[in-house]
Amino acid sequence: MSSQNDISLVHKLKLVLIGFVVSCGGSFHFGYQISIINPMADVIQGFLGRSIENRLHHHLRIWTQKLLWPTVAGLLFVGAFLGAVLSPKLLHRYGMKPVLHLSTLLLVISFSLAYISKIVNLAEIFIIHRLLVGIGIGMITTAQTVYLTEVSPMKYRGFMGTMTGFSTSIGFVLASGIGLPQVLGQDHLWHYAYMIEILPSAILTLSLLLFLPTSPVEALKKGNAKEALICLETFCDKGTAFNQLAQMEQEITVTEESSTTVPLKTLCREAGNVLFISLLLNATVSFSGITAASFFGTFLLQNIGFNNNEAALANCLASLSGILGNVIGSFTIDRVGRRRLIIGCLSLLALLNTILMGCVFFFQITDDNNVGYAFLGIFMIFLFIFSLGVGPVAWFIATELSPASFRPQIQSLSVSCQYITCFISSIVFLPLYQLVGPLSFLIFITPLTLCSVYLFFYLPESKNRSPEALFMDLKKTKEKTFG
């Protein structure tokens, strides 16, 4: 098919530019927000505690302090869950660009609230910031992934999908460095770390106003084939654009796009297998150990022999391996394919979690600080493998498996599932680690193993295949399995 033909260098550069701008204005903030509180945990906890105690005029109990911090940290995921749930209705009613504008505005307001909370010494404002930034992230990451899938030529959808994971890693690494005590991780400087995030949001807003094209699928749903063709011609020649346009029209017709969002009951009946695979993968990502690494990486390193400053610096350097994994993954995903990459990475992550558990056991027995360096090395490999495949693919696999009429809702449910299970994982892991020590890693090893086995039997390869063909294959698999 001509739609599979390669595109010119100019078209490729346009595609990369738009992918970079959109993902840095979106998923970048997710990586930044989950990482920034890791090295600055003591500083922000101190601010929250002092602010509340000064107003209440008594000291917080120890159990209250222990509950307050993971709850405030986890509010990011509660907000992201709400934002992801809201996205399909907003996308249906207002369209792609207005939703991107709205979510960007929410993010900018939330960054400002974090700064203001320090100026006026009100912990409650910071807590509101944490919830609001989550809502903005949930909205923009859902819309962003759908947008990048729909504007990209089929051959490059995998590459564009990895940009979501890449920008998340960029945000994660940047925040790990900015939050160091030697930079902004200090009592009188930490609030400036949140104002930095306004820059990529401002760039996205200007880009939306000046040159970002509309979604061709959205244009077709409104009956504007001419506008859809103009968008497609931004990234490929006219012949390829015409072929893609015809394919999109067929996809929308076959899936019988309605004028309203599809009821959940209908969604489960018509696309239940796609939904289940997407939910399963995103929930497993949350319980892969990445949430523990993001929120408690410094804590884990402190508990295996590193002092406070060493742990913060080691955590920052370790996060660079995630960037390397993203870069390599972006060039291999369309060669290796999604199926092999996902199943292989899930299996390796289960193995690496097992080794990390063994390192903690060995350190507790021997109290040998050299075990800490082994733990750090495995930790870096873990971040590399996660960023190489399953991390970025989980963001967009639902958009590749779903036909146009179900795509926003399935993507919303998938992302919502990841956010709410991330919240559960962040709340559960630390108390569990303090209770049972290294055995807490079993909550990562078990789902990783079970998910890799299930996907081995039921996950199709989506590389260079249309959502329509994949959807039909999955329906046939469901009929063979359940009759």
Residue pair 333/157 in contact by the 8 Å Cβ criterion: no
| Minimum mean pLDDT range among 34-43, 396-405, 411-420, 464-473 | 464-473
Give the C-alpha separation, 475 to 18, whole Å: 34
User: Mind listing the pLDDT tens digit for each residue in 437-452?
Assistant: 999 999 999 999 999 9
| pLDDT for position 407 | 82
Give the C-alpha separation, 342 to 202, whole Å: 34
Domain span at residue 404 reads: 2-212+255-482
**Residue 480 confidence (pLDDT) above 60:** no
What's the rounded mean pLDDT across residues 146-169?
84
* 217 is a domain residue: no
What's the rounded mean pLDDT across residues 210-234?
86
* 364 is a domain residue: yes
Say whether 60 sits in a helix, a strand or coil. coil
* 245 is a domain residue: no
**Pure H helices in 406-466:** 407-436, 442-458
What's the rounded mean pLDDT across residues 277-297?
90
**Residue 411 confidence (pLDDT) above 70:** yes
User: Mind listing the pLDDT tens digit for each residue in 119-128?
Assistant: 999 999 999 9
Sign of CA dihedral 471, 476, 478, 479: positive
User: Mind listing the pLDDT tens digit for each residue in 175-188?
Assistant: 989 998 889 989 99
**Residue 260 confidence (pLDDT) above 60:** no
Task: Record the tokens describing residue 330, joined without a space.
Answer: 């972006």
| Minimum mean pLDDT range among 2-6, 270-274, 344-348, 464-468 | 2-6
Give the C-alpha separation, 300 to 383, whole Å: 14
Residue pair 391/167 in contact by the 8 Å Cβ criterion: no
What values do phi and psi take at 52, rounded to 5?
A: -70, -45
**Residue 358 confidence (pLDDT) above 50:** yes
* 231 is a domain residue: no
Q: What's the number of domains the chain is made of?
A: 1
* 333 is a domain residue: yes
Which of 158-167, 404-413, 440-449 has maximum average pLDDT?
A: 440-449
* 247 is a domain residue: no
369's CB contacts (< 8 A; 6+ apart) are: 305
**Residue 347 confidence (pLDDT) above 50:** yes
The rounded mean pLDDT for the chain is 87
Band of residue 131 on the pLDDT scale cut at 50, 70, 90: very high
* 230 is a domain residue: no
Residue with the two structure tokens 């200007």: 206
Task: Record the tokens describing residue 123, joined without a space.
Answer: 């912990």
Band of residue 319 on the pLDDT scale cut at 50, 70, 90: confident
CA-wise closest residue to 482 among 268, 281, 257? 268
Residue 200 belongs to domain with CATH number: 1.20.1250.20
User: What pTM did the predictor assign?
Assistant: 0.80
